[in-house]
Copies of this chain bind each other. A is one copy, B any other.
Amino acid sequence: MAAPIPIDAEMLADVALLAALPRAVREEAAALARARPLPRGLRVFDQGERAGRAHALLSGCVRITQSGSDGEEILVRFIGPGEIFGCVPVLTDGLYPADATTMVDSLELSWDPADLLALMERHSQLAINMVAIVGKRLGEAQERLRELATQSAERRVARTLLRLLDQAGRRTGDGVRIDFPLRRKDIADIAGTTLHTVSRFVAGWERQGLLATRHHHVIIRSPDELRVLAEESPG
């Protein structure tokens, strides 16, 4: 067992859940947290498993997927630096509702469920922040639901890329790069279609010079053109 990684309140300033709180609260949270490096490809927790820890990501990227009894799965969301994951079951039935897997080497903080709960009881602002975070995700899920029910696959793929751009876009020489390793299957699992269909559209856009992929990373050269595709009225 390696020596525990020291945690200071500074590290917590980047976690959205705690960002706007008084420093004293962050120190309290820091004292209870455990830091841990996560190698790429690690299954952080499994769907249905009893929630052993509540998590926050400091760096890297975690993929949250949900699968049904039939094995079909969707990609619920990517967790980027500063975001929390696996925290809701602490307050509900105690079972993780999805799988979590690191996509790159990452660093996380985590809390014992009881500690986090106690912390939220002492500091209502913490719980209120959490409602805001979960509420925002609920809104996003409902928007995706509407898109999936009413829009064409092409628009959904375009919107998926735009949304990822928002979440993890980073300017580079010739466009904006999505900072997650992203393969066609991932895009398909978010947009609710197949990797074949995604490939057709993306390859087309790539030919038009609208975007490029290298090393499993997507670089959008022209977000505006993509936005046009995403908004186009019919189907």
Contacts from A to B (Cβ < 8 Å): 66-70, 72-74, 76, 88-89, 91-92, 97-98, 117, 120-128, 130-132, 134-139, 141-151, 192-193, 231, 233
Given A138-B141, A139-B88; A66-B127 close (CB under 8 Å): no
Report which of B67, B134, B149 forms a contact with A148, defined as CB distance below 8 A: B149
Tell me if B146 and A66 are in contact (CB < 8 A).
Answer: yes
| Cα-based distance from A34 to B92 in the complex (angstroms) | 29
Residue among B69, B142, B147, B149 making CB contact with A141, cutoff 8 Å: B142
Q: Are B135 and A72 in contact (CB under 8 A)?
A: no
Find chain B residues with CB under 8 A from A148 CB: 145, 148-149, 192
Chain B residues whose CB sits within 8 angstroms of the CB of A149 once the complex forms: 72, 74, 148, 192-193
Of chain B, the residue at the smallest CB distance from A234 is: B70
Contacts of A146 in B (CB 8 A): 66-68, 72-74
Q: Offer 19 A-B interface pairs, CB within 8 angstroms, sorted by A.
A: A68-B147, A68-B151, A73-B146, A74-B142, A88-B135, A89-B135, A91-B128, A92-B135, A92-B139, A117-B128, A120-B128, A121-B124, A122-B124, A131-B134, A137-B138, A144-B145, A148-B148, A149-B192, A149-B193
